[in-house]
Amino acid sequence: MSPKAILFDLDGTLIDSARTILAGFERALEREGLQAVVPLEPSLIGPPLPKTLATLAGTSDPCVIARLAIAYREAYDGGGYLQTEVYPGVPAMIEALATQRIALHIVTNKRIAPTRLILDHLGWTRWFRGIYALDALEPAAPHKSALVSAVMQLESLTQTHTWMVGDSAEDRSAAESNGLRFFSATWGYGAAGADGLRSPGDLLLRFAHHSA
């Protein structure tokens, strides 16, 4: 069916913030006198910040993770996010969908503070009816599937008229567990799989096909 709403992941789907996020991780580790126990590469991006920091530091010590999180936030939120890159074709895709009166929503594991900073910086805030992150809910959502479920309720969305677009296995799982049609952004950080979109414009073609 033709969608009335589309949920978008952010990192790896609409924006490529790998370079700036990895730089923030590196500065945080340096500030705490630590070295990464795994390579600093885009595959790290996606999970909630504490989980990624634990993977990088090789420890789940809450005190260490808390200090690293503070250092990372100061680096990234303090200006690192300004270097965020946009995937080619994404702005045109979002604007085209918005002009069709499709309700667009962000559902991301990125913290809500930098999410809003980035959307404001790019001039995209006006295109999204809802902007949701795990820590935007009270209490915070434990994972993306729970976040999507909450958004469906808060925005009064229906399964049959809502699509989701993301780049990771977690995004696919979140969509499928909530009964949503999923499309994978093959240009992102995760594996593509079925229903892969070759480019942002491909989503517009899918929409046009289902609207015909």
Tens-place pLDDT, residues 4-23? 999 999 999 999 999 999 99
What residue ranges do the domains of the chain occupy?
A: 5-16+86-211, 18-82
115-120: average pLDDT: 97
Predicted TM-score of the model (pTM): 0.91
| pLDDT above 90 for 212 | no
CATH architecture of the region 5-16+86-211: 3-Layer(aba) Sandwich (3.40)
Whole-number pLDDT of residue 84: 94
- The CATH fold assigned to 18-82 is DNA polymerase; domain 1 (1.10.150)
Phi, psi of 6 (to 5 degrees): -135, 130
Average per-residue pLDDT for the chain: 94
Q: 3-state DSSP: the chain helix, strand, coil percent, rounded to 5?
A: 50, 15, 35
Whole-number pLDDT of residue 192: 57
Whole-number pLDDT of residue 5: 98
For residue 29, give every residue at least 6 positions away whose Cβ sits within 8 Å of its Cβ, in sequence order, or none. Answer: 35, 36, 56, 57, 68
Phi, psi of 170 (to 5 degrees): -65, -40
For residue 209, give every residue at least 6 positions away whose Cβ sits within 8 Å of its Cβ, in sequence order, or none. Answer: none
Whole-number pLDDT of residue 199: 93
pLDDT in tens, 64-79: 999 999 999 999 999 9
